[in-house]
Amino acid sequence: MSTPQTIYESLHHQGFSRRDFLKFCGISATIMGLSPSMIPRIAKALENTPKKSVIWLSFQECTGCTESLIRAHAPTIEGLIFDHISLDYHHTLQAASGRAAEQARENAMKEHHGDYLLVVDGSIPMGNPGYSTSAGISSLDMLKEVASGAGAIIAIGTCAAYGGLPHAAPNPTGAVSVEELITNKPLINIPGCPPIPAVIAGVISYIVTFGQLPKRDSLKRPITFFGQNIHDRCYRRSFYDQGLFANSFDDEGAKKGWCLYKLGCKGPVTYNACATTKWNENVSFPIEAGHGCLGCSEPHFWDAGHFYQALSVPTREIVGTAGYALAAGAAVGVASAMLNKKKKVDATKNHETVTIHDLERTSS
Ligand code: SF4
């Protein structure tokens, strides 16, 4: 039997029936955040879609993004690699090493020029090329070389998307994001420290299936997963609405599972899918484990953190996504909080949203 060329052929080759294939399409729709009505379109696309060549570059990072990906459960990393993509280069997961590894990268770049998917985790140091190298090539040169032939780029994790922890003041390596260096390619950011594995897998599946990036917000994040803040989907929200808050991590409120707002939770200004997609096969997420959201998927979260300090917006004023601009506006002169002038406009929803940077606290 010849080598399977398309995703459908790959599944057929593994002994899956047509019915299994349609089930696979249904699961794919779910992980991509699409409605079941899209299943026929997904099936048609996958019947004709070749497995996508993926080159994954890791720069200034902690391998947490890869650790996250290998915990993806739908599809599993094995399913993703065997059914959707050809992972041609990845420092941590590839079997090859040394010259053979670099040869695999060069071959993939040549064979799939203009079409391969470049995935990057980690920021790029601009202070000195020697701060981060692979095979004797600086991160900057490696990124430029591989990006030049890529069809699209995914910046995975807050370091690749916004500079992340290496970018935190005083930013000793001069760390920058992928987007600051590569401006002539379709790019999507999947921030998070680390990002949710199901979101990584879902976005890769979408690109492979439809040959284009999913719809993105003004920070180039996939709207399906980053379109709402955590607060609006948090299971502790009813306590928030009732004014029931934990005041310390071991008081009665904490034991009863009350809202963590006063303990510094950044859920109201953090856009991500943690409250619904969750982690470890939908088992839990930080707030469910008793710790407030740190806002790790927002730009500059490390510097803007004040992790255990409550947001200064008056709690009663926060009434959901549409209310943030009002809430923050009301906060000026009322609760020692003020809006800076960088309100971000979510063009897709045509309403103003306030991010973690828009709240500048005055010391009390
Ligand atoms: S402040 Fe945090 S813990 Fe409270 S409802 Fe909002 S997201 Fe949940």
pLDDT (tens place) for every residue of the chain, 364 residues total: 455 567 777 767 777 777 777 777 777 777 677 788 888 877 777 777 788 899 999 999 999 998 888 877 666 666 666 667 888 999 888 888 899 999 999 999 999 999 999 999 999 999 998 999 999 999 999 999 999 999 999 999 999 999 999 999 999 999 999 999 999 999 999 999 999 988 888 888 888 888 889 999 999 999 989 999 999 999 999 999 999 999 999 999 999 999 999 999 999 999 999 999 888 878 999 999 999 999 999 998 888 768 999 987 644 444 443 333 333 333 322 222 223 333 333 322 333 334 444 443 322 2
- Domain locations in the chain as residue ranges: 51-224, 227-361
Per the DSSP assignment, residues forming a β-bridge with 218 are: none
The C-alpha atoms of residue 217 and residue 299 are separated, in whole angstroms, by 14
Q: Which pLDDT belongs to residue 317?
A: 46
For domain 227-361, give the CATH number. Answer: 4.10.480.10
pLDDT given at position 4: 54
pLDDT (0 to 100) of residue 75: 62
Task: Name, in order, each residue with C-beta under 8 angstroms of 194's C-beta and a sequence gap of 6 or more.
Answer: 64, 65, 67, 68, 157
8 Å CB contact between 24 and 82:
no
Is the CB of residue 259 below 6 angstroms from any atom belonging to ligand 1?
yes
Neighbours of 254 (CB within 10 A): 16
pLDDT value of residue 74 = 61
Q: Which pair of tokens denotes residue 359? A: 């709240």
51-224 to CATH, choices 3.40.50.800, 3.40.50.700, 3.40.50.300, 3.40.50.920:
3.40.50.700
* This prediction's pTM: 0.81
Q: In the numeric block, which tokens belong to residue 55?
A: 């080159």
Residue with CA nearest ligand 1 atom 1: 261
Token pair recorded at residue 41: 């379109």
Distance 328 CA to ligand 1 centre (A): 17
Question: 239 C-alpha vs ligand 1 centroid, how far in Å?
Answer: 9
